[in-house]
């Protein structure tokens, strides 16, 4: 975490609330390490999410379930060291907050104490309300996450769009209200119909950040490695690619291999 003087213009939960009030869209991306968090922060992002998508992106797991609290703290503390402006939010990993409010509080406290992050995020609605309320008692800001919640993938069975049916949509509307009432400072809505997301964003006073939830919300979040085009296999409709780092990196490494083999690297200027 940076020092007090450099924190003068730091984004806080209040900044995000003001942005919603003024109609200024919030830009959020994931980052899991020092170097990329530093770049993303310097480029002007408002919120950095140390997501449990690190389980997929950084560790190559099929789901977000295996990542541990210690691993999340490692990623979060690395990212925090690169950030001077953005609000850093850290996912509570699967199994560290469900069904045990004291355990949830302890997990959130460990993240805040050991990483220097500014807030936590957790997945779910009414079923995790007790955990959210308990974490909030310690003064830890909580971001909610509804819609497609990847930690429940084995309950859903697939990663398809959620809340298309009215019963699930109604439950989501109610959960958004419950999370707001409990004191969450913001909400992520993942992969739900754009119309429903816009309705929810208009119905709550807290900022609503969407991923695959259309343009009618208060901000957008993407997984950094996806929007940079590092991962070519993941192609959901909602993903816009802003770079082709797969091509850039592959080309750079291939050129390096060629230069090493041909002994054109290092040249006379590149040695002592
Ligand atoms: O872990 C993550 O990257 C997330 C985003 C998809 C919102 O939760």
Q: Are residues 34 and 136 in the same domain?
A: yes
Q: How confident is the model at residue 6 (pLDDT cuts 50, 70, 90)?
A: low
Beta strand residue intervals within the chain, DSSP E:
26-30, 47-50, 87-91, 119-121, 142-147, 186-190, 208-211, 219-222
Question: Which tens digit of pLDDT belongs to each residue from 108-162?
Answer: 999 999 999 999 999 999 999 999 999 999 999 999 999 999 999 999 999 999 9
Nearest residue (by CA) to ligand 1, atom 2, is 51
Q: How confident is the model at residue 232 (pLDDT cuts 50, 70, 90)?
A: confident
Rounded distance from Cα 181 to ligand 1 centre (Å): 23
221, 228, 234, best to mutate for ligand 1 pocket (most atoms within 8 Å of CB):
221
Q: Considering 62, 114, 133, 190, which one is annotated as catalytic?
A: 190
Q: Are residues 186 and 251 in the same domain?
A: no
Q: Are residues 251 and 235 in the same domain?
A: no
Question: Which tens digit of pLDDT belongs to each residue from 79-93?
Answer: 999 999 999 999 999
Domain count, the chain: 2
45, 186, 188, best to mutate for ligand 1 pocket (most atoms within 8 Å of CB):
188
| Average pLDDT in the chain | 96
CATH classification of the domain holding 207: 3.20.20.60
Instruction: Enumerate residues 6+ apart whose C-beta is below 8 A from 39.
Output: 82
Question: Which tens digit of pLDDT belongs to each residue from 165-215?
Answer: 999 999 999 999 999 999 999 999 999 999 999 999 999 999 999 999 999
Are the C-beta atoms of 35 and 76 separated by less than 8 Å?
no
Q: Are residues 264 and 151 in the same domain?
A: no
- DSSP per-residue codes, 47-104: EEEE-TTHHHHTT--SSSTT--HHHHHHHHHHHHTT-SSSEEEEEPPTTSSTT-HHHH
Q: Does pLDDT of 222 surpass 90?
A: yes
Q: Are residues 163 and 97 in the same domain?
A: yes
Q: Is the CB of 30 under 6 A from ligand 1?
A: yes
Rounded distance from Cα 258 to ligand 1 centre (Å): 38
Q: Are residues 191 and 217 in the same domain?
A: yes
Residues of the chain with pLDDT > 70: what percent?
Answer: 97
Q: List beta partners, residue 209.
A: 188, 219
Rounded distance from Cα 241 to ligand 1 centre (Å): 17
Phi and psi of 168, rounded to 5°?
-70, -35
Q: Are residues 212 and 95 in the same domain?
A: yes
Instruction: Enumerate residues 6+ apart whose C-beta is below 8 A from 218.
Output: 19, 20, 25, 26, 201, 207, 208, 209
Lowest-pLDDT range, 1-15, 44-58, 133-147? 1-15
Tokens 């730091």 locate to 10
Q: Are residues 84 and 145 in the same domain?
A: yes
Q: Are residues 230 and 250 in the same domain?
A: no
Q: Are residues 260 and 187 in the same domain?
A: no
> What DSSP designation does 158 have?
S
Q: Are residues 93 and 207 in the same domain?
A: yes
Domain around 130: 3-241
Tokens 């990847």 locate to 150
Annotation marks residue 190 as catalytic: yes
Upstream peptide bond of 266 is cis (omega within 30 degrees of 0): yes
Q: Is the CB of 52 under 6 A from ligand 1?
A: yes
């Amino acid at each position: 975490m940076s020092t007090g003087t450099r924190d003068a213009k730091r984004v806080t939960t209040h900044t995000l609330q003001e942005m919603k009030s003024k109609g200024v869209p919030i830009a959020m991306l994931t980052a899991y390490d020092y170097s990329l968090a530093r770049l993303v922060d310097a480029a002007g992002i408002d919120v950095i999410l140390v997501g449990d998508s690190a389980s997929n992106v950084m560790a190559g797991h099929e789901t977000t379930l295996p990542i541990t609290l210690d691993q999340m703290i490692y990623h979060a503390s690395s990212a925090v060291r690169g950030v001077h402006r953005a609000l850093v939010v850290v996912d509570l990993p699967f199994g560290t907050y469900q069904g045990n409010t004291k355990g949830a509080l302890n997990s959130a406290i460990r993240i805040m104490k050991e990483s220097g992050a500014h807030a936590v995020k957790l997945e779910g609605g009414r079923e995790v309300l007790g955990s959210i309320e308990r974490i909030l008692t310690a003064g830890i800001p909580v971001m909610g996450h509804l819609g497609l919640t990847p930690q429940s993938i084995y309950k859903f069975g697939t990663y398809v769009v959620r809340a298309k049916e009215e019963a699930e949509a109604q439950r989501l509307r109610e959960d958004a209200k419950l999370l707001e009432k409990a004191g969450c400072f913001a909400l992520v809505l993942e992969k739900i119909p754009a119309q429903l997301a816009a309705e929810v964003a208009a119905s709550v006073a807290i900022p609503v950040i969407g991923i695959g939830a259309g343009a009618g919300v208060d901000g957008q979040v993407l997984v950094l490695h996806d929007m940079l085009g590092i991962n070519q296999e993941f192609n959901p409709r909602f993903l816009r690619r802003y770079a082709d780092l797969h091509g850039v990196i592959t080309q750079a490494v291939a050129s390096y291999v060629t230069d090493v083999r041909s002994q054109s690297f290092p040249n006379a200027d590149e040695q002592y």
